[in-house]
Chains A and B, each alone.
Chain A
Amino acid sequence: MKILVCVKRVPDTDTRIQISADGTTFDAAGVRFVMNPYDEFALEAALRLKESGRASEVTVVTLGDESAQETLRGALAVGADRGVLCRGVSGPDGLATAKILRSAVEAQGPDLVLAGVRSVDGDQEQVGPMLGTLLGWACATCVSEIEGGDGVLIAVREVEGGRERVQLTLPAVVTLTKGPFELRRPSLPGIMAAKKKPLEVREAEVVSPRVRVVALELPPARKEGRIVGEGPDAVPELVRLLRDEAGAL
């Protein structure tokens, strides 16, 4: 089984957001970028399927500019076999991204596509299921565990109120959330080996986006909080405030 893992380069989650002068975009100057945390779970799930002998090859693909090669190299350093950069613009229109990734999937011919459930920059949570639908494949989202079988995959979905087990007939697209496993970190030999692994660059198909960001703003500051007091003696006053002032009880 061949696995394709979709990864994205995103601002480090600790980043303070600065808005560009035009008021509609994020100012990336001086920002550290990392692999989208959910994509790390997807990559880990793929590497585990390979280690257990159920997958033969793990390819990582990303849509982005040249700088996204760094993210691909990071994936190669922890064990992916090959990287593909679709050179193009990844914007706020998830369907445009899914269409570009569909071309990459068709070119690579995997049996299974894994992706993060969402990226932590746009927070759209849509590319995976859109890609699955465009391909006409089985698809499961928000999955924390997968087990491979012959031509089928069992996935555990995290939904409100419980966990749902679903069976997917391959080929399939699965989006991952945080699973019960720890992530691996690249080793020095891994980083050295990554430099020699194949990394292909292809031009992304041009799809006109249909989503426009009219404004990007910092959320209104929460009104200044109040320390009600210290220790258990502050409790009656807190409860009074919650009831009479905040109307929350």
Chain B
Amino acid sequence: MTRVLAVLEQRDGRLRGVSAEVVSAAAALARDLGGEAEGIVLGGPGIEETVHAAQAFGARRIRVGSHEALAHYRPEGYAEALAGMIREGGTAAAVLFSATATGKDLAPRVAALLDLPLAQDVTGISGLGGRVRMVRPVYAGKANATIEHDAAPVLATIRPGAISAVEGISHAEIEPLSLALDPERWPTRRLSFEPEGGDIPDVSEAAIVVSGGRGLRDPANWAMLEELRAALGSEAGLGASRAVVDAGWRSHSEQVGQTGKTVAPRLYFAIGISGAVQHLAGMRTARTIVAVNRDRDAPIFRVADYGIVGDAFEVVPRLAAEIRARKES
């Protein structure tokens, strides 16, 4: 039976939302290839409890590898444990990860351990005649490459937001597994984690993104964007253009674009952002793009689905108020 493996991601013992997407992608690919999808998750003791959240997305079983040293992401331990779990049980047709900061750190290590090529940040994957084909953006999103790997399993990370999570009918069996690992040998050690952004989702994970650029003139004016973000609800995050990050108004963690984060939200607001190619590189795959800009000729209007030509200082507060009013009605 052809197997497609999905590597689920957890943080602080909770399964991340992208995990449902990667299981769904694996299930769809397994259907194309006439096989079955299987999940793998690594974490600290008790992690089995949380994988129930992924049971309904089409995997046949979920193997859960637990070890005290894996409670937080540890690159060497995760790579070694995963490489072992992938080798077991015969060759799979593909192994899919999420293209998150963790997934993109982990997958290349697993690829090197298994001596297999890897495709990062895949936005489409399908199986035809037993072969796996992938589409991935290259040249900062200015072109799409369709690629094939001459090795099995095919390793890929799937861009968050690119493939929707689809609930299936299956109810995966959960198979716990305890791992033998030697953390003393690992040459990297996590010292601390400083969270940023409070309860607001990270720009790379937010379903809605409100981004601001130099047109906002001053960091104090972000209060206005924050107002709009809050009106849009808990799934909305904040983003920024490089110009404002370089000016020190906002943190680099919010930067969207070629030298910042790539985002694929359902809705993207570009407020006072000109729409330079390097900015577009990070957000052009957003499903719906809204631009607010004073300059009718700003390049952002060429990619925006909807635009308002006008002063952000007049438009944004009105927008926040209108969205609030509609939500309440």
Interface residues in chain A, defined as those with a beta carbon under 8 Å from any beta carbon in chain B? 11, 13-17, 19, 26, 37-38, 92-96, 98, 120-130, 132-134, 137-142, 144, 154, 157-169, 172, 177-178, 180, 209-219, 222-223, 225-232, 234-236, 238-239, 241-243, 246, 248-249
Contact = CB atoms under 8 A, between A and B. Distances in A.
Contacts of B245: 178
B311 A231 contact: yes
A115 to B, nearest CB: 12
Given A142-B105, A216-B138, A242-B267, 20 more contacts: A13-B140, A98-B112, A138-B187, A144-B252, A158-B253, A159-B102, A161-B205, A166-B188, A167-B188, A168-B187, A168-B188, A169-B188, A210-B150, A212-B147, A215-B146, A217-B146, A219-B141, A219-B142, A225-B291, A246-B267
A172 B245 CA distance: 29
Contact of B138 (A123, A137, A246): A123
B87 interface: no
Contacts of A246: 267, 287-288, 305-306
A232 B301 CA distance: 17
A23 to B, nearest CB: 10
Contacts of B116: 95
Contacts of A11: 139
B308 A164 contact: no
A239 B193 contact: no
A25 to B, nearest CB: 10
A169 B133 CA distance: 39
Interface in B254-283: 255, 258-260, 266-267, 277-278, 281
A231 B119 contact: no
Contact of B287 (A17, A137, A216, A248): A248
B14 interface: no
B306 A226 contact: yes
Nearest to A179: B252
Nearest to A122: B138
Contacts of B318: 232, 235
B217 to A, nearest CB: 18
Given A37-B259, A144-B252, A161-B202, A95 B138 contact: no
B284 interface: yes
Main secondary structure on B side of the interface with A: mixed
A238 B290 contact: yes
B91 to A, nearest CB: 15
A95 B141 contact: no
B288 A134 contact: no
B143 A161 contact: no
Interface stretch (B26-34, B43-51, B319-327): B319-327
Interface of B: 11, 75, 79, 100-102, 104-105, 107-109, 111-113, 115-121, 133, 136-151, 187-197, 202, 204-205, 208, 232, 245, 252-253, 255, 258-260, 266-267, 277-278, 281, 284, 287-291, 296, 301-311, 314-315, 318-319, 322-323, 326
B10 to A, nearest CB: 13
A54 B303 CA distance: 47
A164 B253 CA distance: 12
B7 to A, nearest CB: 15
Contact of A227 (B141, B308, B322): B308
A239 B112 contact: no
15 contacts: A13-B140, A26-B143, A123-B121, A123-B136, A126-B108, A130-B109, A139-B188, A162-B253, A165-B193, A213-B147, A223-B305, A226-B305, A235-B322, A243-B326, A249-B323
A214 B144 CA distance: 11
Contacts of B143: 17, 19, 26, 216-219
Given A138-B187, A231-B311, A26 B139 contact: yes
B101 A95 contact: no
Given A94-B118, A165-B191, A249-B323, A238 B308 contact: yes
Nearest to B255: A178
A163 B310 contact: no
A137 B187 CA distance: 7
A94 to B, nearest CB: 7
Nearest to B74: A166
B277 A14 contact: yes
A15 B121 CA distance: 22
